[in-house]
Amino acid sequence: MNNKFNMLFNIFGILFLAAIVMFFIKPMLGIITLVCAIVLNIYLQIKFPTEMKKFLEKTQKKAVQNKTFNVLYIDGIKFFDNNSDVKIEFLPDSINITNKENRCENIKYIDIENTNILTEIEQTQKDKSVVIRAVVGGLLLGGVGAIVGGLSAVNPTYEKNKKYYLQIKTKSGIDCVFTAKTNILTDIKNEVLKYV
């Protein structure tokens, strides 16, 4: 029965690819081929539900294993150096975190308590040059302009920079923190939430 399923599934794949090609050559023939592929797919789902389920699970596991993200490790794993590059890889039952020395930490999905994206706002003072402002003010408005230009540099301005962090908290007490661009951290968080 399994051999029959494999044969029919291969025929379905061939019909589907042929339908795509036929759309460009003879559109009507492409539609007929596509309808045949759809009917065969429905037949496979009705006649071989367990085989179809196993095939879909196997495909999903392969897709999960291909999900990897490169981030900067901040804290939480004893034998990793802070501010080092690591790779987060999603496996069928866990997350594998590997550093450049190929040392790894494996966190099971069932051990993950929650995951959060944290924001840190860093405020830095932007210095103004007293001399340059005084010279520019003096050139534009004379002596009074030089004094006003020099004084305008006394009040500093501040720049705000945001940094984003991903925290993965586990039931066993490991709290891993990573940083990267916010869209990468969001993708990792969403991937974790699929399994938690």
> Does 155 have pLDDT greater than 70?
no
- Model confidence pLDDT, tens digit, residues 120-129: 887 665 655 5
Look at the pTM and tell me if it is higher than 0.95. no
Please give the Cα distance from 42 to 27 (Å, whole number): 23
Give tens-digit pLDDT for 36-71: 999 998 998 899 888 888 887 777 665 555 688 999
58 found inside a domain? yes
Residue 52: inside a domain:
yes
Angle of helix 27-47 versus helix 2-25 axis, rounded to 10: 160
Asked whether residue 20 is assigned to any structural domain, the reply reads yes
Q: What percent of the chain has pLDDT over 90?
A: 22
- Looking only at the bridges linking them, the beta strands covering 175-179 and 112-126 are unpaired
Residue 101 has pLDDT above 80, yes or no: yes
19-23, 58-62, 178-182: segment of lowest average pLDDT: 58-62
Helix, strand, coil content of the chain in percent (nearest 5): 50, 30, 15
pLDDT at 136 > cutoff 70: no
For residue 6, being part of any structural domain is answered with yes
41 found inside a domain: yes
Take residue 60 and report the two structure tokens written for it: 């999903």
For residues 76-94, average pLDDT? 87
- The structural domain count of the chain equals 1
What order of strands is seen across the sheet that includes strand 112-126?
104-108, 94-99, 84-90, 68-75, 175-179, 157-170, 112-126
Query: Does 196 reside within a domain?
Result: no
Residue 14 lies in a domain: yes
Q: How confident is the model at residue 22 (pLDDT cuts 50, 70, 90)?
A: confident
Domain that holds residue 12: 2-63
pLDDT interval class at 73 (50, 70, 90): very high
